[in-house]
Amino acid sequence: MSSAIYGDKRVDNLKIAYIGGGSRGWAWGLMSDLAAAGDLSGCVDLYDIDFEAAKANEVIGNKFNDLPEAVGKWTYTAKRTIGEALTGADFVIISILPGTFDEMESDVHHPEKYGIYQPVGDSTGPGGIIRALRTIPMFREIARAVRDYCPKAYVINYTNPMTLAVAALYKEFPEIRAFGCCHEVFGTKYLITRMLKEHRGLTVQREELVSNVIGVNHFTWLTDLTLHGEDLFPFYAEAIEKQEAKLNEELALVDNNWVKIAGSTHDRVKYDLFKRYGVMAAAGDRHLAEFCEGSWYLESPEMVQKWGYSLTTVKWRKEDLEKRLARSARLQSGEEAVKISNTGEEGVKQMRALLGLCDLVTNVNLPNVGQIPNLPMGAVVETNATFTAGGVRPVMAGPVPPQILNLIARISAEQQMVLEGAFEHDLDKVFAAFCNDPLVRLPLAEARKMFDEMIENTKGYLTEYFE
């Protein structure tokens, strides 16, 4: 039962349960956004399988209240059980790492032995599928806990593979009020604001760019893009040509050496997809490339370089985690001060809208109840949705344009099969999806061999499939 107290344009005594957060980044951003929200207050209960990680965040979170600019006051408490954390929650936030970076190392790098490269490897492709096998059982467990402890709470997921994580929540507990959030679409809009600045001298806020969002997470598309009633697609088409020309000039100056040009991605995959299909792909190039036919952007590391983006190694991730853990220690000890900064994330704004404090239309991941009529009902898709005191309702995105329908539909079908296979503990069904993935272009026997090896590498987190 919620203990929230509705006042005059504010809500107090809220309870948020935060599941995960050992990796630190997301948790700190949320703490900052909550401290900056003057019309909310309450408590945040932290739960992580590593209790010490939750405890660290408790210490850090409570420091925010001391900041003079912290207009939102929140009490952070680490809890030893998920039930304690969830009981009475109005909102549940999930941000976990399914397994460790050792498992992720197999996900991302083992396929390289077969000539298969993955710039991220957490959402799709062989790595994303194997990661999903670890993730789905965890999310089933969370769904059951939500059902038992806080069935009316809104559940916000940030974990990848986003689509299958959200799908698992709904399949396990169909009445759950869950949705999945991702900032990739914002990134594309920021790109457009930079282009408008550069080519037209206009200063435009991301929120002024209005678009219809369609697709699955990390493979989302904008079927239109409007500024003040103007269709920006012609502008984008022209801007692409200019960006490419400029890039080629810069490359010539540095002897065609990408490393010498700033930036880890140059949006060339996005541009190529726009030229192919006339609609805007709206995620980072590293993500987009993974969902396409492997021969287009991921045939080899050289091809990746030619497209101007990069393959994120798990080694880098491990090092990056070390840095965050060090920072965590500094924040706990007070060596480094906590501070409020705008994260650009919408989580807190979503909560405010769900509490009736503002209106919001933004893109989220939800089961398809018809918002995309030509994708299967029930599949988790990403579209715009309205956030109101009545809940989250998808806006009709309409059918996927025909020229990109099969790109998305095949991914959606693959995800559906992985979901079913995982729920039924039927690894053969999972493999039927796996061998059909756009990146896994192997003869059947080789595909099976790779699959079995990747399962073997990560079997510590897959015990329930073998019971």
Question: What own/partner pairs with CB < 8 Å and gap ≥ 24 does 284-288 have?
Answer: 284/184, 284/187, 285/119, 285/309, 286/119, 286/120, 286/310, 286/311, 286/312, 287/119, 287/120, 287/123, 287/184, 287/218, 287/219, 288/218, 288/219
Q: Which of residues 259-298 bind a second copy (CB under 8 A)?
A: 272, 275-278, 293, 295-296
Binding mask 209-228 toward a second copy (x if CB under 8 A, else -) reads -xxx-----------x-xxx
Rule CB under 8 A: choose which of 68, 201, 234, 402 binds a second copy.
402
Q: Exactly one of 12, 39, 84, 208 binds a second copy (CB under 8 A); which one?
A: 208
Shortest spacing between CB 450 and a second copy, in angstroms: 14
Q: Which two tokens stand for residue 335?
A: 């060596």
Amino acid residing at 325? L
Question: Contact 289/297 with Cβ under 8 angstroms?
Answer: yes
Catalytic residue among 109, 110, 183, 218: 183
Using alpha carbons, select from 416, 443, 445 the residue that is nearest to residue 430. Answer: 416
Distance, CA of 282 to CA of 65 (rounded, Å): 37
In 3D, which of 265, 204, 271, 286 has the Cα closest to residue 233?
A: 271
Give the residue, chosen from 183, 193, 395, 426, that forms a contact with a second copy under the rule CB under 8 A.
Answer: 395
Among 19, 132, 364, 407, binds a second copy (CB under 8 A): 407
Q: CB 195 → a second copy: shortest distance, Å? A: 18
- Asked whether the beta carbons of 16 and 91 are under 8 A apart, the reply is yes
Residue 389 CB, shortest distance to a second copy, in Å, is 5
| C-beta atoms surrounding 435 within 10 Å | 19
Tell me whether residue 61 or residue 128 sits nearer to a second copy (CB atom): 128
Does residue 425 carry a catalytic annotation? Answer: no
- Figure out which of the listed residues 6, 238, 301, 323 binds a second copy, where binding follows CB under 8 A: 6
Nearer to a second copy, 123 or 159 (CB): 123
- Scanning residues 433 to 452, which ones bind a second copy (CB under 8 A)? 433, 435-436, 441-444
What dihedral angle (degrees, nearest 10) is formed by the CA atoms of 147, 153, 159, 161?
60
| Residue 136 CB partners (closer than 8 Å, separation 6+) | 164, 165, 168, 419, 422, 423
Closest CA to 48 of 102, 85, 1: 85
Tokens of 422: 């995982």
- For a second copy, what does the binding mask look like between residues 346 and 385, x meaning CB under 8 A? --------xxx--xxx-------xxx-xx-x-------x-
Asked if 13 interacts with a second copy (CB under 8 A), we say no
H/E stretch holding 424: helix 402-424
**Which one of 67, 71, 251, 405 is in contact with a second copy (CB under 8 A)?**
405
| C-beta of 254 vs 361, nearer to a second copy | 361
φ/ψ of residue 122, rounded to 5: -115, -5
Write out the binding residues for a second copy, residues 408-437 only, by CB under 8 A: 409-410, 413-414, 416-417, 420, 429, 432-433, 435-436
**Total site size for a second copy, rule CB under 8 A:** 66
Which residue lies nearer to a second copy by CB, 161 or 367?
Answer: 367
> How far, CA to CA in Å, does 294 sit from each of 2, 118, 119?
48, 10, 12
Least distance from a second copy to the Cβ atom of residue 37, Å: 17
- 8-state DSSP, 220: E
Residues labelled as active-site residues: 183
Q: Which residues bind a second copy (CB under 8 A)?
A: 2, 4, 6, 11, 208, 210-212, 224, 226-229, 272, 275-278, 293, 295-296, 354-356, 359-361, 369-371, 373-374, 376, 384, 386, 388-391, 393-398, 402-403, 405-407, 409-410, 413-414, 416-417, 420, 429, 432-433, 435-436, 441-444
